A = this chain, B = another copy of it.
Amino acid sequence: MESSTEPSCKVAKIDIHPFHGFKEARVLNELKDKKSVFLHAVVEPGNKDAVVILEKKPFDTSEEGLASLLSSETELQQVISNDIYSTYSATPKPRHGMLKTTMIYPATQKHIDKYRKQEVVVVEETYDDYKNITLPYLEEENKFSVQWVFNILDKQTESERIVFEDDDLETGFILLPDMKWDVSDLNSLYLIALIHKRGIKSLRDLTAEHLPLLRGILSKGQKAIFDKYNIPKEKLRIYVHYQPSYYHLHVHFTHNDFDAPGTTVTRAHLLSDIIQNIEIAANYYQTKTLTFVGRKEDKLTIALQKSN
């Protein structure tokens, strides 16, 4: 993270059109099935690095959207024709080709590494590993710098996006749309609950004293989402990541119909399971070996694999 003294001028630096100064770009990773690409670009004035994420948007399935897609406005070229089956290459009106673009600028080497495709391995972390390896590693790498989270909690930014707040400093939280969610599409609903209390880094810090916090996030988050979006709890997946991407405890709320990244059993932990596990054993998360998928070249992965 950069210092927060000049938060807004950074975007302005890239001229009126943010893509204008791009000198070169290379692919860090591509998810072909998701029609997403992760780029490392160099921006001309000053040769600064940027990470640019391009994702094709889902189809506009409104009545007008379908009418326009399935009309002669769409140019078609036949590829295969066999009996009742045929395939085409189609070019619809430009508005159907819209992208979601995310830019990190200026980007550090860490941002670039984060999006580079890397070999991953399944890692096991005992609680001793956590204390002796993971925690010192996180401290050394300064992974606890979560200024952008504090900006939200302190209403410095994004306060207009808050969907629900419980302002109790011990058990409260702010619920807001995740940056990855295009809020117009309820079926890919994705919200994040950021807890007000500082210093709870992850699952590993949770004990019986946090049960009121966790139960509150579960029930109040479900209710807030129902009240605002009319999505009932039977449609929600509510979970925490381990390892998380930032070490200020947060809970993911995603629509179950949406194949959100990070919902696999090697990364996601259901909030309802977490609550029950702590009820069964107060020190569950200070006892249990946790399995997660790590990048093969990450220092933490290498250190944990050595200890096994």
Q: Most chain-B CB neighbours within 10 Å: which of A8, A95, A122?
A: A122
Do A88 and B18 touch across chains, with their CB atoms under 8 A apart? yes
At the interface, yes or no: A223 with Cβ under 8 Å from chain B?
A: no
Residue of B nearest to A147 (CB): B83
Residue of B nearest to A261 (CB): B33
Do A85 and B179 touch across chains, with their CB atoms under 8 A apart? yes
At the interface, yes or no: A41 with Cβ under 8 Å from chain B?
A: yes
Do B76 and A19 touch across chains, with their CB atoms under 8 A apart? yes
A2 to B83, CA, bound (A): 8
- Give the distance to chain B from A77, nearest Cβ to Cβ, in Å: 10
Do B103 and A86 touch across chains, with their CB atoms under 8 A apart? yes
A85 to B1, CA, bound (A): 10
Do A265 and B269 touch across chains, with their CB atoms under 8 A apart? yes
Quickly give the copy total for this chain.
Answer: 2
- With a CB–CB cut-off of 8 A, which chain B residues contact A57? 35
A70 to B258, CA, bound (A): 28
- With a CB–CB cut-off of 8 A, which chain B residues contact A260? 33
Q: Which of A200-208, A243-251, A287-295 contacts B (4 or more CB under 8 A)?
A: A287-295
Binary contact readout A118-161 vs B (1 if CB under 8 angstroms, 0 otherwise): 00111110000000000000000000000110010000011000
Do A39 and B70 touch across chains, with their CB atoms under 8 A apart? yes
Residue of B nearest to A6 (CB): B83
- With a CB–CB cut-off of 8 A, which chain B residues contact A103? 85-88
Residue from B56, B99, B265 in contact with A239 in the complex, judged by beta carbons closer than 8 Å: B265
Do A82 and B151 touch across chains, with their CB atoms under 8 A apart? yes
Total count of chain A residues near the partner, CB < 8 A: 113
Residue of B nearest to A19 (CB): B70
At the interface, yes or no: A113 with Cβ under 8 Å from chain B?
A: no
At the interface, yes or no: A300 with Cβ under 8 Å from chain B?
A: no
At the interface, yes or no: A307 with Cβ under 8 Å from chain B?
A: no
Q: Which of A12-64 contact B (CB under 8 A)?
A: 17-20, 22, 25, 27, 30-37, 39, 41, 52, 54, 56-59, 61
- With a CB–CB cut-off of 8 A, which chain B residues contact A69? 54
A158 to B123, CA, bound (A): 34
Do B54 and A59 touch across chains, with their CB atoms under 8 A apart? yes
List 16 A-B residue pairs with CB atoms under 8 Å apart, sorted by A's residue number.
A7-B83, A10-B83, A18-B88, A36-B59, A37-B58, A56-B56, A82-B148, A82-B157, A84-B106, A85-B104, A87-B179, A89-B101, A90-B100, A276-B288, A277-B277, A280-B281
User: In the complex, given contacts A56-B59, A92-B97, what are 4 additional A-B residue pairs having Cβ atoms less than 8 angstroms apart?
Assistant: A35-B56, A52-B70, A263-B264, A280-B284
